[in-house]
Amino acid sequence: MSPTVLSLAAIVLYLLAAGVLALDAKAGGAARPTLSGTQIIIAAAAVLIHGIVLYQAMLTPQGLDVSVFNTASLVGWMVAVFALIANLARPLQMLLVGLLPLAALSLALEWLFGRGHPVTGKEPGGVDLHIALSLVSYSLLMIAAFQAVLIAIADRQLRRKRPIRIMRLLPPLATMEVLLFQLLTIGFFLLTLGQISGFMFVHDLFAQHLVHKTVLSMLAWLVFAVLLWGRYLRGWRGRTAVRYTLAGFLLLAVGFFGSQIVLQLILKRV
């Protein structure tokens, strides 16, 4: 089946799954511990088809195609996968309402603009490890950023004492914060490994145009390190946790995609 048909099918399924979840929120029902069978089937089908599209687009005879739109699509796919897996243990319906359309958007961008770019070629195993760790940590920290947004919304509504209907599908605020710091802890650990592997296996940052990415990633690492230190030693939570999480993720996002956008789309370099 053609990549176009597969991409359109996955996009429709992502949006359908998110729409079904949003309708639950509109109906004002109580939060369920897990997704319904129908929701799982639709979302899992979207993830499966998206994975097939990624496989066809990124694995080439010349090497791995990590152009900016393919990479964005891969991150969107990984975010959807991790969120679905996490939902087996915790109620993340409202998180998925935001993350599934994001995965659909990333796939749409890959479908429209992700073909015809040069590939990176065969990379040493250490560099592949660095790329894999960076992608997984980025995906988990993106989920944490969305979780932080939900916490900010919930906190604002509680302070105003005017909860909106969507709040009925959110877990208690304390539960949401526990999940946030679980995501941050795992993501930070993998980000740390990714940084170490980068210094070990990437030998010339200037020649490979990685200086800005490295500096911004290290700043993001520092922000997350301070946040986790404050959480476990000072009990930081609430708005402080939200601000640090979003600031760290913004730095990471600019470092992660900023250099790719400038090099590949503006300067037309690999």
Asked if residue 254 and residue 145 are part of one domain, the reply reads: yes
Query: Counting every residue, how long is the chain?
Result: 270
Task: Write down the pLDDT at residue 126.
Answer: 60
Asked if residue 96 and residue 7 are part of one domain, the reply reads: yes
Task: Write down the pLDDT at residue 242.
Answer: 94
Asked if residue 263 and residue 156 are part of one domain, the reply reads: yes
Q: 116-163: per-residue pLDDT in tens?
A: 554 555 555 566 777 788 888 988 999 999 899 988 888 887 777 665
Answer positive or negative: Cα dihedral of 19, 25, 28, 32: positive
Task: Write down the pLDDT at residue 184.
Answer: 94
Residue with tokens 């010339």: 204
Asked if residue 175 and residue 149 are part of one domain, the reply reads: yes
Q: What is the Cα–Cα distance from 99 to 85, expressed in whole angstroms?
A: 13
Q: 27-56: per-residue pLDDT in tens?
A: 655 455 556 778 888 999 999 999 999 888
Task: Write down the pLDDT at residue 186.
Answer: 93
Last residue of a domain, one of 64, 91, 115: 115
Identify the band that residue 229 occupies on the pLDDT scale cut at 50, 70 and 90.
very high
Give the domain range for residue 107. 1-115
Asked if residue 103 and residue 148 are part of one domain, the reply reads: no
Asked if residue 164 and residue 93 are part of one domain, the reply reads: no
Asked if residue 209 and residue 101 are part of one domain, the reply reads: no
Last residue of a domain, one of 76, 93, 115: 115
Cβ atoms within 10 Å, residue 88 = 11
CA-to-CA dists, residue 1 to 5, 8, 49, 64, 193, angstroms? 7, 12, 11, 22, 38
Best CA proximity match to 10, nearest among 38, 35, 42, 55: 42
For 84, residues 6+ apart whose C-beta sits below 8 A from its C-beta are 35, 40, 43, 44, 47, 96
Residue 252, pLDDT > 60, answer yes
Q: Give the count of domains, the chain.
A: 2
Last residue of a domain, one of 90, 115, 140: 115
Task: Write down the pLDDT at residue 207.
Answer: 42
Q: What is the Cα–Cα distance from 195 to 252, expressed in whole angstroms?
A: 12
Helix (H, G, I), strand (E, B) or coil at 69: helix
Task: Write down the pLDDT at residue 153.
Answer: 84
The arithmetic mean of pLDDT across residues 43-71, rounded, is 83
pLDDT > 90 fraction of the chain, expressed in percent and rounded:
29
Q: What is the Cα–Cα distance from 143 to 105, expressed in whole angstroms?
A: 16
Asked if residue 87 and residue 154 are part of one domain, the reply reads: no
pLDDT > 70 fraction of the chain, expressed in percent and rounded:
75
Asked if residue 259 and residue 130 are part of one domain, the reply reads: yes
Asked if residue 131 and residue 66 are part of one domain, the reply reads: no
Q: What is the Cα–Cα distance from 80 to 24, expressed in whole angstroms?
A: 19
59 DSSP β-pair partners: 64
CB 270 within 8 A of CB 120: yes
Asked if residue 212 and residue 108 are part of one domain, the reply reads: no
Residue 10, pLDDT > 60, answer yes
Best CA proximity match to 64, nearest among 7, 15, 120, 11: 120
Asked if residue 68 and residue 88 are part of one domain, the reply reads: yes
Task: Write down the pLDDT at residue 206.
Answer: 41
CA-to-CA dists, residue 111 to 15, 50, 57, 178, angstroms? 16, 11, 9, 36
* Exposed/middle/buried for residue 130 (C-beta within 10 Å: 0-12, 13-18, 19+): buried
CB 176 within 8 A of CB 147: yes
Q: For residue 34, how many C-alpha atoms fall within 13 Å in the half-sphere facing its CB?
A: 10
Q: What is the Cα–Cα distance from 200 to 168, expressed in whole angstroms?
A: 48
